Amino acid sequence: MFLPCSAQSNTTVRNRLGRIADELGHGDASQGDADTIASPAPLTVFLDGVHIRCRPEYQKRHLDVVVGTIESLNMSRRFGLVQQAASSPAKQLRNDFIAQGWDGQVKVTVISDGEPSLPNLVRRAVRGPVTHILDWGAYLDAGQAHRKRGAGLLQSKDVSGSLLLFERPSDTLRWYLWHGKVMTAATILKVLQINCDRLHAETQELREAAKRVRARCQDLYSYLANNFDALPDYGHRYRSGLAVSSSQAESCVDDIGNTRMGKRRCMRWSAQGAHRVAVTRAAVLDGRLGVSKRAA
């Protein structure tokens, strides 16, 4: 009312954001080609994904935004991207690796959940093999679901003595998983499935409970079989001071995805717009734009 301010335009803000995101990509590429990076160290990549609402013209409900962090001994770098919108997702991630001191020979370790597309993205970026470790948090959730089913079966009415066969395997399963004894854990799951089949003479309630436990055992067994190569000795890694979960990536989900593009905001995004916001937001959080976190 007092000053002749010009009207705000959402198109101008969107265009400026697009230019910043494009410049960030070119700047990362030039930074990666420079020879100023010294003392390369092993890299650990923490990956996760977040679903955001998609615009109606894409004829699907959600877009997948890949977020994570790349950590070395004394450096950390956040990143975010939408694979459908990035011109080359592997190249963008490769530039982030180079900016962290990766020289093509440094060992790269990926910690993520059971989604195969996440470690495959890193393999394409480094153009070679990587060490994939299954997130212990996702691993634990699958085991906890099995334990709850088994506890419910043991607490059922008219429990017979044969159900005591479920008590000890259910308690020791987590210990075997933590210490990397995957074959022993798989054997326990097979024994539990056989014991569930033996309850055909029990009451209807127990048969239904045993059927649910057997289904959960089968799901966990398939989960172990599909991720057998990504199951290390978690206890040894933890005692050695190495990461066993992707908690760093989960914080990126909150800082990059949910803060600006969360479902509670009731906004719908295009793939290109979400990609630009993720790239710019990660740069702001790392201080690569020279502005404060509050200003972002």
Measured CA to CA, the distance from residue 135 to residue 47 in angstroms comes to 10
Percent of the chain with pLDDT strictly greater than 90: 10
- The pLDDT of residue 296: 45
- The pLDDT of residue 143: 53
Helices (H), the chain: 10-33, 89-99, 117-126, 136-154, 167-178, 182-197, 204-226, 234-239, 247-252, 259-261, 271-286
With a CB cutoff of 8 Å and minimum separation 6, the contacts of 122 are 45, 47, 93, 108, 110, 130
More confident of the two residues 137 and 241: 241
Measured CA to CA, the distance from residue 231 to residue 181 in angstroms comes to 9
Mean pLDDT of 4-16: 71
pLDDT at residue 60 tops 80: no
One CATH from 2.60.40, 3.40.50, 3.30.70, 3.30.420 for 17-135+245-286: 3.30.420
How do residues 178-237 score in pLDDT, each as one tens digit? 898 989 888 888 888 887 787 766 677 777 777 887 888 888 888 888 888 888 999 999
Q: Where are the domains of the chain?
A: 17-135+245-286, 137-229
DSSP H/E element including 132: strand 131-134
With a CB cutoff of 8 Å and minimum separation 6, the contacts of 2 are none
Place of tokens 């030039």: 30
CB of 230 closer than 8 Å to CB of 134: yes
- The pLDDT of residue 268: 84
The closest of 107, 95, 210 to 160, measured between CA atoms, is: 210
How do residues 114-143 score in pLDDT, each as one tens digit? 788 889 999 999 988 899 999 887 766 655
pTM: 0.77
Q: What's the CA angle centered on 189, arms 185 and 194, to 5 degrees?
A: 145
Q: What's the CA angle centered on 210, arms 179 and 224, to 5 degrees?
A: 30
**How many residues appear in the chain?**
296
The closest of 21, 249, 222, 24 to 119, measured between CA atoms, is: 249
Burial 69-78 (b: 16+ CB within 10 A, else e): bbbbeeeebb
Ramachandran category for residue 241: left, alpha or beta (phi over 0 → left; psi -120 to 50 → alpha) = left
pLDDT at residue 158 tops 60: no
The closest of 294, 278, 279, 228 to 95, measured between CA atoms, is: 279
Measured CA to CA, the distance from residue 138 to residue 284 in angstroms comes to 29
pLDDT at residue 1 tops 60: no
Measured CA to CA, the distance from residue 244 to residue 226 in angstroms comes to 19
